[in-house]
Amino acid sequence: MGVYEEEKYPFIKDEIALIQLAIKMGKPVIGICFGGQLVAKAAGADVYRGRGREIGWYQIKLTDEGLSDPLLAGLPGEFTVFQWHGDTFDIPDGGKNLASSESFRNQLVKIGRKAYGFQFHLEVTEGMIREWIDINEKELLSMNGDIDPEKILGETPKHIETLNSYGDVVFSRFLDLMEE
């Protein structure tokens, strides 16, 4: 489903309203993938289908603002993350783009001081990736070879530990935001 499918999935409007309220109140908000798109939409950005898909392991690059953001400080300027999306979002007025990839310019939006919308996945485990591939195998195989499930599974052991260590850092810092 896409964030832009509010008529088909009416609960999306309620999710957006809740996120808007949390942002307005200055509460910490974190959204990942669909959740990141919801954060962007709640802040006034357009969310729409991208020109392709990112499913698997991809490089992202932190922007200058990303390099200096308290949630990301100390992470490398470029690193490999796990992606599973075909939609993207614009950066809303007043928002900051903290990361980009070769195919999708907006990978991480920050709204105010405490709201973040991640397009990529820092929370995944190897087991989750295997499960997602199993559940979506027919769809992945129908993509004319653009997405290779075996390649994704083969690359996972090479990247998952580092990704999880970055996730630990980011999510710990986000929890610190919640305590403020």
Known active-site residue 121: yes
Q: Which of 65, 123, 126, 155 is catalytic?
A: 123
Which of 15, 54, 85, 121 does the annotation list as catalytic?
Answer: 121
Q: Catalytic residue among 15, 33, 54, 85, which?
A: 33
> Is 159 known to be catalytic?
no
Torsion of Cα atoms, 32 then 23 then 51 then 160, to 10°: -20
The answer to whether residue 123 is catalytic is: yes
Point out the residues that are catalytic.
33, 121, 123
